[in-house]
């Protein structure tokens, strides 16, 4: 008997496929296309092959800003990798220990900022750190550190790191939850066997737990990478699209905003913006590619 | 069959009336978020008294987003019927892209002097595309109470200004309320506000446009040099101080002076501050003073408006004595550009508009032509001027960077 055509598969897949195609795949392809055009004085668009990319990468008017934004983005990402994710791992490890009192409450509290709007986060921190009315200086004063207070958000040297740490504060809940979920999924028998063998808690953590959650750590890394290189909202809500002082907090997202929408009297250009968006896409694609090639392939799935 | 046709007819009729009802609502695009209440409570009702039945909606966008958002809405065909126009290039660009109607000869336009219309005309002066609405004047506000306590007079020269600032600092208050976190004040209020006294207003501005002067020439560098001396007078941590912080600092009486634009008069009145205004100090006693008297707001018509008839009626009203009076006296700190004689009631606004009698008026240095190329001079000035105030850039380096940026694309400057 001939097998009937599996219509149900088609029926179930079509809606998702259509939505994905219309709202994700098509805009992406159209952006890639638009990047090859330029906008003339009158607003009409002409095919110009690589003119936009040449401008972004080699014309000092634009390339300096682009590489500055790229550099800042890398710093932004490194702060997250060096502080947010280890902190997430530490918190998850502590919370997954047996007999921690109020573990659920801590989890909720630590995860809470993630649920808040970035605009609120930016506003709160701006108030806290304000040299005029902020509480930061007073709080530092209680521990005798008042003279170390600086207008951190206003200095070229510190503004980007301050913003990165604000972002870390907000999002540390996500790696924590993911890692926590992986940690509690490790079967008790393995840990118990190690305990019977006489392994210390420290040793159990590094030689049993961490290797078993490596796929999750990889996932967290790639999520951080994609999130950070697409970041925009926090910088925009705190420093505006000009990402001051002197572009020291400019990242690819704000750079894209200025290219696409313009800022104040600087006119935006949809085509140049599309080229910036394409470059951002390529950077993220390359990063994800490297990750899949060198890391993901070597990871083993453990199933029990 | 007949029944169906009847419902169709009714439906069509309903749609048509709905259409006309909607076309009767005029939407005004503007960046004056702060004036929303005034438009809704004062200006629009006043217009509706004359023209009942025309619905008007005032729909502002934040100033820094306005140009880009407006451009997107105009391109997408969703922009409002009436468009508030920035002066010079920004609106000229819209006109070139046919996003603004030509307004020459329309009702109301005859009430404006030629000098007011320049900001919204094509380079050859043949086409006018926005009706001038208002200008803003830059200067300093001072807290009368603090000045009285310390026995200070509003300073006339730069030396007196520094002396006053030193005296305030000695008394333990902040001499000047000013921050650089938002960057724009450093340029629009400070640099192009105090600068005209150094480059002699229009003379210096036109010299740059003509290419006969460079930003690296002494008068322009002198303006930056003066700014670089302000750091000790600003509040602690001023590099993280936003414009809102600045307003609070002055309104709460913690700072004695604030470099400001006339648009802030309304805000400080609301806060109940007892303050006066003085023009940017001149270099030596007896020097002619210059003020930044910036043609800031115009209003134009969207060619794609569904209801141009009513839009023009509104425009005609904007050109009337009644509007000029309401706008000058209710939206305090914006000065009507029309020929009508208006009695300015607010004392601070009155003193600022009176500066026109003794000082030379000029517009913001870079507003005309100089903002057209890349790098965009307006954004460059924001960055450079806040860096100078922050002590991160020397006046000479600032001048060199602005001049280098200009000569990259502007032929007369090469």
pLDDT digits (tens, 9 = 90+) for A181-204: 999 999 989 989 999 999 998 899
Tell me which H or E stretch contains A43. none
For residue A271, give how far its alpha carbon lies from the nearest alpha carbon of chain B (Å): 13
Q: Which residues of A touch B (CB under 8 A)?
A: 41-43, 61-62, 126, 129-133, 150-156, 239-242, 244-247, 261-268
pTM of the prediction?
0.86
pLDDT for A67-82, tens place per residue? 999 999 999 999 999 9
- Cα(B275)–Cα(B355) distance, rounded to whole angstroms? 17
Grade residue B76 by pLDDT with cuts at 50, 70 and 90: confident
A155: chain B residues, CB-CB within 8 Å: 239-240
* CA distance, residue B242 to nearest chain A CA (Å): 9
**Contact predicate B125/B118, CB 8 Å:** yes
Distance (Å, whole) CA B172 – CA B177: 14
CB B13 within 8 Å of CB B67 = no
The band of B358, judged by pLDDT with boundaries at 50, 70 and 90, is very high
The tens digit of pLDDT for each residue in B245-272 reads 999 999 999 999 999 999 999 889 989 9
Confidence band of A43 (pLDDT split at 50, 70, 90): low
- At A302, the pLDDT band (50, 70, 90 cuts) reads low
Confidence at A1, pLDDT banded by 50, 70, 90? low
pLDDT for the residue numbered A300: 64
Q: Residue B18 pLDDT more than 60? A: no
B118 pLDDT above the threshold of 50? yes
More confident site: B230 or B125: B230
Q: Which is nearest to B326 in space by CA: B35, B37, B117, B46?
A: B46
- Tell me what pLDDT residue B20 has: 42
B358: CB partners within 8 A, 6+ apart: B289
Residue of B nearest to A270 (CA): B72
- Report the distance separating Cα B270 and Cα B247, nearest Å: 12
- Residue A19: Cβ-neighbour burial (10 angstroms; 0-12, 13-18, 19+): exposed
Q: Left if phi > 0, otherwise alpha if psi is -120 to 50, otherwise beta: which for B343?
A: beta
The pLDDT assigned to A301 comes to 60
- Does residue B9 register a pLDDT over 80? no
Alpha-carbon gap, residue A204 to B266, rounded angstroms? 68
Question: CB–CB of A264 and B64 under 8 A?
Answer: yes
What confidence category does residue A42 fall into, taking pLDDT thresholds of 50, 70 and 90?
Answer: low
Q: Are A239 and B236 within 8 A, CB to CB?
A: no
Confidence category of residue A2, pLDDT binned at 50, 70, 90:
confident
- Contact flag B382-A241 (C-beta cutoff 8 Å): no
pLDDT at B17: 43
Q: At what angle do helices A103-115 and A173-185 cross, to 10 degrees?
A: 140
Region A166-177: what's the mean pLDDT?
Answer: 95
Rounded to 5 degrees, φ, ψ at B276 are: -125, 180
Tell me what pLDDT residue B242 has.
93
> What ipTM did this prediction achieve?
0.84
For A182, other C-beta atoms within 10 Å of its C-beta total 20
Interface test with B, best of A51, A58, A59, A244 (most B CBs within 10 A): A244
CA B248, CA A134: separation in Å to the nearest integer?
13
Mean pLDDT of A249-274: 88
Q: Is the pLDDT of residue A210 over 70?
A: yes
Distance between CA B83 and CA B62 in Å, rounded? Answer: 14
Least confident of A43-47, A118-122, B167-171, B405-409: A43-47
Q: CB of B106 within 8 A of CB of B314?
A: no
- Residue A269's pLDDT band (cuts 50, 70, 90): confident
Q: Any chain A CB within 8 A of the CB of B244?
A: no
Q: Of residues A22 and A299, which shows the higher confidence score? A: A22
Q: What's the pLDDT at A45?
A: 82
- pLDDT at residue number B8: 52
Question: From B72, which residue of chain A is nearest by alpha-carbon distance?
Answer: A261
Task: Tell me the per-residue pLDDT of A78-129, one tens digit each, with 9 for 90 and over.
Answer: 999 999 999 999 999 999 887 888 888 999 999 999 999 999 999 999 999 9
Distance in angstroms (rounded) separating the CA atoms of residues B193 and B184: 12
Please report which helix (H) or strand (E) contains residue A140, including its range: helix A136-142
> Mean of the pLDDT values across residues B353-370?
90
Residues of B in contact with A150 (CB under 8 A): 237
Q: What is the C-alpha separation between A29 and B375, in angstroms, rounded?
A: 30
Confidence band for B224, pLDDT divided at 50, 70 and 90: very high
Is residue B298 over pLDDT 60? yes
């Amino acid at each position: 008997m001939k097998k009937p055509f599996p219509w149900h598969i088609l029926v179930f897949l079509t809606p998702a496929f259509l939505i994905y195609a219309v709202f994700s795949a098509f805009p992406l392809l159209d952006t890639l296309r638009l990047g090859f055009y330029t906008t003339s004085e009158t607003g009409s668009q002409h095919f110009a092959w690589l003119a936009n990319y040449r401008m972004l990468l080699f014309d000092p008017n634009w390339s300096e800003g682009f590489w500055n934004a790229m550099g800042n983005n890398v710093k932004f990402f490194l702060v997250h990798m060096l502080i947010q994710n280890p902190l997430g791992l530490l918190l998850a490890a502590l919370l997954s220990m047996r007999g921690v009192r109020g573990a659920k409450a801590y989890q909720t509290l630590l995860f809470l900022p993630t649920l808040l709007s970035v605009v609120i986060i930016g506003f709160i921190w701006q108030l806290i750190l304000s040299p005029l009315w902020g509480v930061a200086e007073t709080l530092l004063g209680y521990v005798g550190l008042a003279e170390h207070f600086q207008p951190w958000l206003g200095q070229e040297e510190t503004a980007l790191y301050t913003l990165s740490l604000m972002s870390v504060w907000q999002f540390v809940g996500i790696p924590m939850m993911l890692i926590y979920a992986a940690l509690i999924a490790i079967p008790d028998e393995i840990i118990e066997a190690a305990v019977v063998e006489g392994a210390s808690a420290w040793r159990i953590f590094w030689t049993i737990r961490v290797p078993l959650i490596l796929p999750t750590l990889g996932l967290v890394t790639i999520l951080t990478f994609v999130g950070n290189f697409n970041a925009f909202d926090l910088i925009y809500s705190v420093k505006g699209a000009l990402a001051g002082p002197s572009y020291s907090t400019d990242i690819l997202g704000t750079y894209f905003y200025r290219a696409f929408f313009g800022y104040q009297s600087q006119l935006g250009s949809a085509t140049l913006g599309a080229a910036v968006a394409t470059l951002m896409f390529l950077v993220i694609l390359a990063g994800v590619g490297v990750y899949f090639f060198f890391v993901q392939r070597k990871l083993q799935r453990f199933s029990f | 069959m007949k029944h169906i046709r009847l419902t169709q007819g009714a439906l069509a009729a309903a749609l048509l009336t709905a259409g006309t009802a909607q076309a009767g609502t005029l939407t005004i695009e503007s960046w004056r978020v702060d004036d929303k209440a005034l438009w809704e409570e004062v200006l629009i009702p006043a217009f509706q008294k004359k023209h009942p039945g025309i619905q008007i909606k005032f729909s502002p966008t934040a100033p820094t987003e306005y140009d880009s958002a407006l451009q997107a809405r105009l391109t997408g065909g969703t922009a409002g019927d009436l468009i508030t126009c920035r002066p010079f290039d920004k609106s000229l660009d819209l006109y070139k892209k046919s996003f603004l109607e030509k307004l020459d000869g329309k009702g109301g336009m005859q009430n404006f002097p030629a000098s007011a219309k320049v900001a919204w005309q094509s380079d050859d002066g043949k086409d006018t595309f926005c009706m001038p609405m208002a200008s803003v004047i830059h200067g300093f506000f001072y807290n009368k109470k603090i000045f009285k306590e310390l026995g200070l007079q509003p300073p006339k020269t730069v030396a007196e200004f520094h002396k006053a600032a030193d005296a305030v600092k000695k008394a333990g208050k902040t001499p000047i309320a000013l921050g650089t976190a938002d960057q724009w004040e450093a340029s629009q209020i400070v640099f192009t506000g105090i600068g005209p006294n150094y480059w002699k207003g229009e003379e210096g501005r036109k010299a740059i446009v003509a290419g006969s002067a460079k930003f690296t020439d002494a008068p322009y560098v002198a303006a930056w040099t003066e700014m670089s001396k302000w750091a000790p007078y600003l509040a602690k941590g001023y590099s993280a101080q936003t414009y809102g912080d600045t307003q609070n600092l002055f309104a709460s009486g913690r700072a004695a002076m604030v470099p400001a634009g006339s648009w802030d008069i309304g805000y400080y009145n609301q806060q109940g501050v007892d303050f006066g205004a003085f023009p940017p100090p001149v270099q030596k006693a007896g020097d002619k003073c210059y003020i930044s008297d910036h043609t800031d707001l115009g209003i134009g018509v969207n060619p794609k408006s569904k209801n141009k008839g009513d839009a023009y009626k509104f425009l005609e009203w904007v050109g009337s004595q009644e509007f000029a009076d309401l706008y000058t006296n209710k939206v305090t700190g914006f000065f009507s550009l029309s020929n009508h004689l208006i009695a300015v009631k607010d004392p601070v606004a009155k003193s600022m508009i009176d500066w026109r009698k003794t000082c030379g008026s000029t517009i913001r240095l870079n507003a005309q032509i100089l903002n057209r190329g890349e790098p965009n001079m307006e954004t460059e000035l924001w960055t450079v001027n806040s860096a100078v105030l922050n002590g991160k850039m020397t006046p000479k380096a600032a001048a060199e960077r602005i001049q280098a940026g200009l000569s990259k694309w502007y032929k007369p400057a090469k």
